[in-house]
Each structure stands twice: as structure tokens, then as C-alpha cells.
């Protein structure tokens, strides 16, 4: 069984330095951290959790809370990729994750439960909006993913910019009748994407008929289907649709095809997220990519700094987005 002494021998660092790296002390050089962690990986070292807890007064456990309307948690492709990235980063510092029952949501009893379990910090995947809990009274290191939270660390995508990229692209293809299937307007991300859509349309001096904005609900496939039914029922239907989430976009495409129309020949479609399935559907979906790896990594780094009392700046970290062009859009000139 590999011991801390084996790590010290392998790296050439003292037992004290190795111990500081393993226990995530701040006064260790990045070079030492990298070398020790590489040796840990190579030798398969596993620290004794009980001894480590006693020595550091930490549980080495991070609570994970999902506070989102769909109630799907890890089943959603966006959330699963973000948490996997978060998990990979905190595991380098020997932290484990404790998943709170999704039925609890972000409530006072959730935080009391997490305090009872002795977690060192909490990561909250949150899209609830104004009805979310004010966590500040609980005095626990916390980072929020997917929306800003006043007085707290938060990591989220540049949602308005994503909408701008989508509208600019469609405008460049000659589209002037552009509709938007929004997410439920109780969700921060959906509100921001809708605002971005409206601002981008205004920038191009394009009018938005009221019936061109349809609420698709909580980013579900069925929500996308229902919203697209409503758009197809219009006498003057749009030539392009920007959809606030990829799963909704897939539902919208299905409805378009069921109506005997084609994507993109009759209606162009753009999604938001770039879930793994997006590139495998027919046609492959043009979408706004969220950098889920970076969101998870940044969230982990912020929370670890907070746990170790290194987090000073609590402003939100806005992660850039990117338009991924595939085959679900085409120019108006080629549509007829």
C-alpha cells in the first residue's frame, strides 16, 4: 500500500511539503503541487480519510445541490457535464461529493442537513430565479452555477452574448422573420437569452411580432414541441427559430418534420447548450456552445479558494460562449 513516505521519496519533497499539498494548504508552490499530485496519480496513493479529517479539521466532503425546475439533476446533459468537470477538479485535492436529494431543492432544511453532514462547502446548480433561498445567513462556503447570486461566488455563461451570436448569424444568412422559443421566464438563463434576442433584433432594426416569442417551459423536449406547434400555426410563419435550449430545439425540429416541412430548407433552427446529441441528430444542430468543462473547473477553483479562505472577490465569473455552425441553418436565398 502506497504511503505518504512513498510520495515524498518519489518527488524529493519533505513529508511536511507532501502533507501540505495533500491537505490543500495555500503556502505551497504550484510546482510542488503539480509534482506531488502527479506522483499521487502515478502511485495510486489513497489517503486515510479518518486521519486526514482529524488532522485538518475538515470533512473533505462537498455537498451538491440541484435547484432547478425540471427536477432532473444529473440526467440533464448540461448539468451532468458541468458536475463531471467539477468532480474531476476537486478530486485532485482529495474531495468527495455528497449529492443532496433533489426533492429537497434549495431550502433552509437543505443547508441544515449539509451542516449536519459536516460538508466543507456546497456547489449549487441553480436556475430558479427570484424564488431562490437567500443563503448568506448560513455562513457556508458556496458557489452557484448557472446564475449570479448576490454576495456569492457564481459561474455562468454569457447568455446575452449567445443570443446575439445566434441572431447575427441568422441575419447574415438573410433571415428577417426570426422567432424565439424561450425558456420559462422564472429562470435566469432564459430571461437573459430572451433579453439578448430582443437586443440583437433591435440592433438589426428587425420587428418582433408578439406571436414570434413563445414560452417553451423548462428546457424540455416536450416544451420545444408545444412551442413549435404554436409557431407553425401562424399564417405568417418565421423562416428561422432561435431556441433557448438544445433539447427544446430537438423537439421543435421533430414537429417541423412531422408537419411535412424540412430543416433547414423551410425553417432554420439554432439551439443553445451544445449537448452531445446535437451533432448526431438529422440535421446536425447549429447551436450556441456553453463551455461546460470550464464552468465546472472555475466553480471548483472558486469553492476550494473559499473553503481555504482565499476567496476575496465574490463577483460572478462569466464564461464566454461560441456559435457552433452545423447543418440546421441555411440562407434565405437557398430556401425556395
What integer pLDDT is reported at residue 115 of this predicted model?
78
* Rounded Cα–Cα distance for residues 203 and 196 (Å): 10
**Which domains, and CATH codes, for the chain?**
4-56 (1.10.260.40), 61-155+291-318 (3.40.50.2300), 159-290+323-334 (3.40.50.2300)
Q: Which residue has the higher pLDDT, 136 or 118?
A: 118
> Poorest-confidence range of 110-114, 163-167, 194-198, 295-299?
110-114
Give the residue carrying C-alpha cell 504550484.
30
**In this structure, are residues 120 and 280 in contact, taking their beta carbons and an 8 Å threshold?**
no
Residue 194: predicted pLDDT: 98
Beta strand residue intervals within the chain, DSSP E = 61-67, 96-99, 121-126, 142-145, 153-157, 178-182, 213-215, 240-243, 268-273, 286-290, 317-319, 321-324
What pLDDT is attached to residue 54? 45
Phi, psi of 232 (to 5 degrees): -70, -20
pLDDT at 278: 96
Tens-digit pLDDT profile for residues 26-70: 778 889 989 999 998 888 887 655 455 545 567 789 998 887 665
Q: How far is CA 263 from the centre of its chain?
A: 27
Q: What is the pTM of this model?
A: 0.79
pLDDT at 57: 60
Q: Pseudo-torsion of CA 111, 114, 116, 121, nearest 10°?
A: -110
Work out the percent of the chain whose per-residue pLDDT is above 90: 53
Q: Is 154 in contact with 92 (CB distance < 8 Å)?
A: no
pLDDT at 252: 98
- Alpha carbon 92 to its chain centroid, in Å, reads 21
Q: What is the pLDDT of residue 314?
A: 64
Which of the four pLDDT bands, split at 50, 70 and 90, describes residue 164?
very high
- Residues in a beta bridge with 321: 290
285 exposed, middle or buried (CB, 10 Å; 0-12, 13-18, 19+)?
buried
The answer to whether residues 78 and 127 touch, using CB atoms and an 8 Å cutoff, is no
Question: What's the whole-number mean pLDDT along residues 190-217?
Answer: 97
pLDDT tens across 129-149, in order? Answer: 554 555 566 678 889 998 887
Dist CA 168 CA 270 (whole Å): 12
> Mean pLDDT score of the chain, rounded to an integer?
86
Kindly indicate the confidence band of residue 268, based on its pLDDT and cuts at 50, 70 and 90: very high
pLDDT score recorded for residue 129:
57
The least confident of 20-24, 197-201, 216-220 is 20-24
Beta bridge partner(s), residue 144:
124, 154
Q: What is the tens place of the pLDDT at every residue in 277-307?
A: 999 999 999 999 999 999 999 999 999 998 8
pLDDT at 4 over 90: no
pLDDT at 297: 94
CA 46, 51, 53: angle at the middle one, nearest 5?
100
pLDDT tier for residue 94 given thresholds of 50, 70 and 90: confident
Q: How many other C-beta atoms lie within 10 A of the C-beta of residue 196? A: 24
* CA atoms of 170 and 164, how far apart (whole Å): 10
Q: Can you spell out the DSSP letters for 145-188?
A: ESS--TTSEEEEE-HHHHHHHHHHHHHHTT---EEEEEPPTTSH
> Between the CA atoms of 227, 232, 236 and 240, what dihedral angle is there, to the nearest 10 degrees?
70
By CB neighbour count within 10 A (0-12 exposed, 13-18 middle, 19+ buried), where does 212 fall? buried
User: Could you tell me if 267 and 240 are in contact, meaning their C-beta atoms sit under 8 angstroms apart?
Assistant: yes
The whole-angstrom separation of Cα 324 and Cα 273 is 10
Amino acid at each position: 500500500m502506497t504511503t505518504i513516505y512513498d510520495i515524498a521519496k518519489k518527488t524529493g519533497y519533505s513529508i511536511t511539503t507532501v502533507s501540505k499539498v495533500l491537505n490543500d494548504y495555500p503556502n505551497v508552490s504550484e510546482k510542488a503541487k503539480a509534482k506531488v499530485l502527479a506522483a499521487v496519480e502515478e502511485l495510486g496513493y489513497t489517503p486515510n480519510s479518518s486521519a486526514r479529517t482529524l488532522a485538518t479539521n475538515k470533512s473533505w466532503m462537498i455537498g451538491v445541490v440541484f435547484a432547478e425546475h425540471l427536477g432532473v439533476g444529473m440526467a440533464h446533459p448540461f448539468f451532468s457535464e458541468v458536475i463531471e468537470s467539477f468532480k474531476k477538479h476537486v478530486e485532485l485535492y482529495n474531495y468527495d461529493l455528497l449529492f443532496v436529494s433533489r426533492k429537497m431543492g434549495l431550502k433552509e432544511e437543505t443547508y441544515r442537513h449539509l451542516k449536519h453532514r459536516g460538508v466543507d462547502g456546497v456547489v449549487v446548480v441553480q436556475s430558479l430565479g427570484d424564488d431562490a433561498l437567500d443563503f448568506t445567513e448560513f455562513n457556508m462556503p458556496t458557489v452557484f452555477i448557472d446564475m449570479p447570486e448576490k454576495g456569492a461566488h457564481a459561474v455562468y455563461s454569457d447568455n446575452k452574448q449567445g443570443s446575439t451570436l445566434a441572431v447575427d448569424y441568422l441575419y447574415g444568412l438573410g433571415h428577417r422573420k426570426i422567432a424565439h422559443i424561450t425558456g420559462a421566464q422564472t429562470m435566469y438563463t432564459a430571461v437573459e437569452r430572451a433579453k439578448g434576442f430582443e437586443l440583437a433584433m433591435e440592433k438589426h432594426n428587425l420587428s418582433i411580432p408578439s406571436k414570434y416569442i413563445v414560452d417553451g417551459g423548462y428546457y424540455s423536449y416536450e416544451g420545444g414541441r408545444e412551442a413549435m406547434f404554436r409557431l407553425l400555426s401562424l399564417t405568417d410563419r418565421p423562416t428561422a427559430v432561435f431556441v433557448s435550449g438544445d433539447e427544446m430545439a430537438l423537439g421543435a425540429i421533430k414537429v417541423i418534420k412531422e408537419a411535412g416541412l424540412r430543416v433547414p430548407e423551410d425553417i432554420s433552427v439554432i439551439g443553445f447548450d451544445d449537448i452531445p446529441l446535437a451533432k448526431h441528430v438529422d440535421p446536425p444542430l447549429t447551436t450556441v456552445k456553453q463551455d461546460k468543462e470550464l464552468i465546472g473547473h472555475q466553480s471548483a477553483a472558486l469553492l476550494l479558494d473559499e473553503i481555504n479562505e482565499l476567496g476575496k472577490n465574490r463577483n460572478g465569473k462569466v464564461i464566454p460562449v461560441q456559435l457552433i455552425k452545423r447543418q440546421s441553418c441555411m440562407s434565405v436565398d437557398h430556401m425556395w
